[in-house]
Amino acid sequence: MAEKFDLNDREVWDGNYAASQALRQAQIDVVAAYPITPSTPIVENYGAYVANGYVDGEYVMVESEHAAMSGCVGASAAGGRVATATSSQGFALMVEVLYQASGMRLPIVLNVVNRALASPLNVRGDHGDMYLGRDSGWIQIDAFNAQEAYDLVLCAFKIGEDHSVRLPVMVHQDGFITSHTAQNIYPLTDEAAYNFIGDFQPVDDLLDFSRPVTYGAQTEEDWHFEHKAKQHKALMDSRPVIDEVFAEFEKLSGRKYNRVETYMMEDADVVIVGLGSTVETAIVAAEELREEGVKAGVVGIRVFRPFPFDQVREALKGAKAIAVLDRSSPGGAMGAFFNEVSAALYSTDTRPLVTNYIYGLGGRDFSIDEAKRIFKEQQANADAGHITTDIQQFSGLRGPHLGYFQTQRG
Amino acid sequence: MQDLHLCAAEKRGIHQLGGDERVGWDEVTQGIILTSFEGDASEIVHQKAEQRHYSDFNSYTASVASWRVEKPVFNIDVCIDCQNCWVWCPDTSIISRDKQMLGIDYDHCKGCGVCVEVCPTNPKSLLMFNEQSGLDEALAAWPEKKKKEEK
**Measured distance CA(A313)–CA(A296) in Å, rounded:** 17
Buried b (16+ CB within 10 A) or exposed e, A275-314: bbbbbbbbbebbebbeeeebbbbbbbbbbbbbbbbebbbe
Contact call for A103 and B40, based on CB within 8 A = no
Beta-carbon pairs below 8 A across chains A and B = 70
Mutate to test the interface with A, among B30, B58, B64 (most CBs of A within 10 A): B30
Residue-level pLDDT at B12: 45
Contact call for B34 and A211, based on CB within 8 A = no
Residue-level pLDDT at A199: 96
User: Is the distance from CB of A144 to CB of A300 less than 8 angstroms?
Assistant: yes
Residue-level pLDDT at B23: 78
Least Cα separation, residue B39 to chain A (angstroms) = 7
Nearest C-alpha neighbor of B50 from the set B95, B4, B9, B107: B9
Residue-level pLDDT at A410: 47
Q: For B25, which of A203, A213, A229 is closest by C-beta distance?
A: A229
Helix-, strand-, coil-residue percentages of chain B, each rounded to 5: 25, 15, 60
A234 contacts on B by Cβ (under 8 Å): 30
Confidence of residue B60 (pLDDT cuts 50, 70, 90): confident
Mutate to test the interface with A, among B15, B16, B27, B33 (most CBs of A within 10 A): B33
**Measured distance CA(A11)–CA(A182) in Å, rounded:** 9
Torsions phi, psi for A67 (to 5 deg): -70, -35
Sign of the alpha-carbon torsion through B122, B125, B130, B134:
positive
Contact call for B41 and A210, based on CB within 8 A = yes
Least Cα separation, residue A139 to chain B (angstroms) = 15
pLDDT digits 0-9 by tens, A156-199: 999 999 999 999 999 999 999 999 999 999 999 999 999 999 99
Residue-level pLDDT at B83: 95
Q: How far is CA B96 from the centre of its chain?
A: 10
B32 contacts on A by Cβ (under 8 Å): 103-104, 216-217, 219, 223, 227
Least Cα separation, residue A346 to chain B (angstroms) = 30
The type of residue at B114 is V
Residue-level pLDDT at A409: 59
Q: Inform me whether the pLDDT recorded for B18 exceeds 60.
A: no
**Residues forming beta bridges with residue A133, ordered by sequence position:** none
Residue-level pLDDT at B69: 94
A226 contacts on B by Cβ (under 8 Å): 23-25, 28
pLDDT averaged over every residue in chain B: 84
Percent of chain B scored above 90 by pLDDT? 46
Question: Which parts of chain A have pLDDT scores under 70?
Answer: 1, 408-410
Nearest C-alpha neighbor of A389 from the set A357, A342, A351, A343: A357
Residue-level pLDDT at B21: 65
Residue-level pLDDT at B20: 54
Confidence of residue B3 (pLDDT cuts 50, 70, 90): very low
Nearest chain A alpha carbon to B57:
A214
User: Which residues, numbered 182 to 211 in chain A, qualify as contacts with chain B under a Cβ-Cβ cut-off of 8 Å?
Assistant: 203-204, 209-211
Q: Inform me whether the pLDDT recorded for B13 exceeds 80.
A: no
Residue-level pLDDT at B151: 72
Least Cα separation, residue B34 to chain A (angstroms) = 5
**Measured distance CA(B64)–CA(A44) in Å, rounded:** 49
Say if A405 is an interface residue toward chain B (CB within 8 Å): no
User: Is the distance from CB of A275 to CB of A301 less than 8 angstroms?
Assistant: yes
DSSP alpha helix (H) spans, A185-262: 190-197, 220-253
Q: Inform me whether the pLDDT recorded for B4 exceeds 80.
A: no
Residue-level pLDDT at A368: 97
Q: For B33, which of A210, A213, A225 is closest by C-beta distance?
A: A213
**pTM for the whole structure:** 0.88
Q: Inform me whether the pLDDT recorded for B84 exceeds 70.
A: yes
